[in-house]
Amino acid sequence: MEKIKLIRNQPHQKYFLADGTQVPGGSTISKIGDDPAALIAWAHKLGREGKDYRKVVQEACDVGTLAHFLIEAFLNGFVCDLDDYETELIEKALGCYHKFTDWWEDQHLEKVATEIQLVNEAYRYGGTIDLIAKKQNGDSVLIDFKTSKKISESYWRQCAGYYALWNCNQEEYDDWLVDGPVGVLKVKIGGDRQIQSVAIVRIGKEEEGDFEVVWREDLSKEWFVFQKQVDLYWALQAAKPEPKRKKKA
């Protein structure tokens, strides 16, 4: 079984249209307009406790990244090389991992593909879908993993964007070429490839029983808002002043 190394502090995934234009990811879009008050209060509280909020955020990101990687390994059958990570972070990530595997083994789902990177040419955004699976009745479902304390509304807007992202690409392909950690895999989906429902699998990083799965079939309201967020993103980009030119010596 192949052993795959998770490289620490990898740059964020970038998405490009066919003409080379770089576009934002669904996660970025879904947060536009969110009220930062709660985040500011949280950072202030940590400061009063003598903690650097940036380090706390980075640790949480590391645990989430590790948990995603372990789940991906479980679903795709490869072994993780986590030599660059501290034991404490690995243990927290393993706690998330075991919560997921316990749930997955009770489901009757078939994995189709993981970590699928796509772009929506019409709406000009991209995204990486955590998991596409298939139910026993043949319905395709989209599953998004979150290692957080709660499911926020921005998560559902992100899922609505991913829902559209997957469905808008289906007409062009009979097969999928999925660039995963073990190379490019040809995935034959078959049946109805359009997404029928979406689930957020929220995996808490601290408490043992902190785990929930919420399914939704109708994300029309979230998709409406997501489209407006895309429009606002590009409007803000267009309104940015042009960079000043350097004076010739």
The residues that bridge with 216 in the sheet, in sequence order, are 198
Closest among 42, 56, 128 to 92, alpha carbons compared: 56
Residues in the chain: 249
Q: Which residue has the higher pLDDT, 87 or 244?
A: 87
Q: Where are the alpha helices (DSSP H) in the chain?
A: 26-30, 37-48, 53-76, 87-104, 153-169, 220-239
Residue 228 has pLDDT above 60, yes or no: yes
Residue ranges covered by each domain of the chain: 35-236
Separation between Cα atoms, residue 169 and residue 158, nearest integer Å: 17
Q: What is the pLDDT of residue 187?
A: 38
Least confident interval from 22-31, 156-165, 181-190, 215-224: 181-190
Mean pLDDT of the chain: 81
Pick the range with the lowest mean pLDDT from 29-33, 91-95, 203-207: 203-207
Global model pTM greater than 0.95: no
Check: CB of residue 212 under 8 Å from CB of residue 202. yes
Neighbouring CB atoms inside 10 A of 231's CB total 14
Q: Which residues of 98-121 are buried (b: 16+ CB within 10 A; e: fewer)?
A: ebbeeebeeeeeebbbbbbbbbbe
Is residue 212 scored above 50 in pLDDT?
Answer: yes
How does residue 174 score in pLDDT terms, banded at 50, 70 and 90?
Answer: very low
In the numeric block, the tokens 């590790």 are attached to: 66
Mean pLDDT along residues 62-75 = 86
Q: Which residue has the tokens 């400061």?
A: 47
As assigned by CATH, the class of the 35-236 domain is: alpha beta
- The percentage of residues in the chain with a pLDDT greater than 90, rounded to a whole number, is 44
Q: How far apart are alpha carbons 14 and 128 in whole angstroms?
A: 10
> 189: burial class by Cβ within 10 Å (0-12, 13-18, 19+)?
middle
Average pLDDT over residues 49-68: 66
